[in-house]
Structure 1
Amino acid sequence: MTALEIRDLDVWFGHAHDRVDAVKGANLSVMQGESFGLVGESGSGKSTILRAITGLAPQWSGTIEVEGQTLSGAKRDRAFFRTVQMVFQDPYASLHPRHTVDQVLSETLHLHGLDNIDKRVAGLLDDVGLGQRFRFRYPHQLSGGQRQRVAIARALAGEPDILLLDEPTSALDVSVQAEVLNLLADLRTKHGLTYLMVSHDLPVIAHMCDQLAVMRNGEIVEVMSSATLRMGNPRHEYSQELLRASVAPQ
């Protein structure tokens, strides 16, 4: 079953002479339970695709289907957010500074119309490897990796099928990036999740994803398997450049 289908997607910002075309004619298909990566340089349009799916980039044309349901415009209803959730890049900006972890998760569960809030909060914290001792802490009392775990728990609160991951570890210290990536891999297996993951880091995508699309200047220039990437056999010249850059000495 196809979890996410995108056909002929154009996304733009501004109007007339001020229009900027951020995504041009994008096509991709993500199967249920698959982890699919979007990779490319900054400004290539990767995150814009995620924002179009969630309604955060309202000016778009083409077709976006989520589990067979065709989306339109920028408005997304509660049913959509029970199916699709997004984890943002910056864990420092994505949590309310005056809300405890308990408040963040409890309010999210209420918004999804779920009951047994206390039990669910405890389960979410256990799921992301934090536990009850973090429940009444504020964001400033958490490390970057712990904040991102809370953000992941919040995304899981509505029991979605699909997670959109926008550079979920790029703002974290190198020492904790692997921990969060391994957590995401474990959660995907445990809950049968589908991932659409944005990254500029080819090794991360090769580790996390089954398939990937390479983007350049708003266009998808190549779709390949992660096995093809690991073997060093991309077809497109730009994909080859990215691969060479990722393995070059720093």
Structure 2
Amino acid sequence: MVTLGEGRSRVDAVKGVSFQVAPGESFGLVGESGSGKSTILRAICGLAPISSGEVLVDGERLGARRDKRFAARVQMVFQDPYGSLHPRHTIDRILSEPLSIHKLKDRDRRVLQALSDVGLDPAFRFRLPHQLSGGQRQRIAIARALILEPAVLLLDEPTSALDASIQAEVLNLLTRLRAERQLTYLFVSHDLAVVDHMCERLLVMRGGEAVEALEEGRLATRDVRSDYARALMTASDGFVRPQSGLGSPVG
């Protein structure tokens, strides 16, 4: 459970939600704004207080504070590519900072490889975030998350702030990176079709609670049981699934 505020302003943002994600799996959390899905990611990262319950990674219970060991295993990509990067830091500094914190060597090679991994030219290394498009900024945010070579990525609506064409490219990029690195994804979105495209299993949330768990294939056959999940599915019917391939490498 995650509780925010006190007294009359107290809000139980997440209530009794439990799930397991297998290594290499992509698991989705879907629901409207305020459903608690992003709060779960923040709780896992230690950015939201856990009032009861526990979070386990590789069977190890996490304490109240997240340490460097946790950061080396689990990284998060935030929704807003404009707000998640320091506006006065070059891309080189943004990507180098995690390496410095963790005292990792061979910085130049790692930074150049991170840019290549997300489809960006080395020339981007010494640009500032305002010189990049929204899609390019989100690629940098993904590169920063991956530069420590974590096993798990927490993805908080990573494409919702992007144009539709760029959204498809970033989703394809995430699909490729997961396959190449055997990554585990916990993917949050308000769009049921996006989560269905990216994930083997998903959990539908509403008002901080779990509404329905859906296994792979049930969305394709429209096998949903709750009225809320059915409404989300109807709202997502106009979604056009991304095609394979990344398209422009600098979108």
The answer to whether 1:217 aligns with 2:226 is no
**Equivalent-residue separation in structure 2 for 1:48 and 1:219 (angstroms):** 12
Give unmatched runs, 5+ long, in structure 2: 240-251
Query: 1:200-226, CA deviations, whole angstroms, 9 ceiling, x for partnerless residues?
Result: 111111110000000011001111123
Match of 2:125 in 1: 135
Cα deviation for residue 18 of structure 1 reads: 2.1
Give unmatched runs, 5+ long, in structure 1: 1-9
Cα deviation for residue 59 of structure 1 reads: 3.8
Runs of 4+ in structure 1 deviating by more than 4 angstroms, as ranges, are none
Match of 1:56 in 2: 47
The answer to whether 1:93 aligns with 2:91 is no
More strand by share: 1
Match of 1:154 in 2: 144
1:201-212 to 2 correspondences below 5 Å: 201-212=191-202
Match of 1:179 in 2: 169
Helix, strand or coil: the match of 2:217? helix
Aligned CA-pair RMSD: 1.2
The answer to whether 1:84 aligns with 2:84 is no
- Do the aligned residues in 1 keep the contact of 2:191 with 2:232 (CA within 8 Å)? no
Cα deviation for residue 16 of structure 1 reads: 2.8
226, 232, 242: which one aligns with 1:242: 232
**Equivalent-residue separation in structure 2 for 1:60 and 1:197 (angstroms):** 23
Match of 2:31 in 1: 40
Cα deviation for residue 248 of structure 1 reads: 6.1
The answer to whether 1:16 aligns with 2:16 is no
Task: Give the AA of the match of 1:227.
Answer: G
- Do the aligned residues in 2 keep the contact of 1:127 with 1:153 (CA within 8 Å)? yes
Task: Give the AA of the match of 1:71.
Answer: L
Among all aligned residue pairs of Structure 1 and Structure 2, give the percentage whose two residues are the same amino acid.
Answer: 61
Task: Give the AA of the match of 1:235.
Answer: R
For these two proteins, the number of residue pairs brought into alignment is 239
**Equivalent-residue separation in structure 1 for 2:172 and 2:28 (angstroms):** 16
Task: Give the AA of the match of 1:33.
Answer: G
**Equivalent-residue separation in structure 1 for 2:199 and 2:151 (angstroms):** 16
- Do the aligned residues in 2 keep the contact of 1:89 with 1:166 (CA within 8 Å)? yes
**Equivalent-residue separation in structure 2 for 1:131 and 1:111 (angstroms):** 25
Helix, strand or coil: the match of 1:247? coil
Helix, strand or coil: the match of 1:33? coil
Task: Give the AA of the match of 1:51.
Answer: R
Helix, strand or coil: the match of 1:230? coil
Q: Scaled by the length of structure 1, what TM-score is found?
A: 0.93
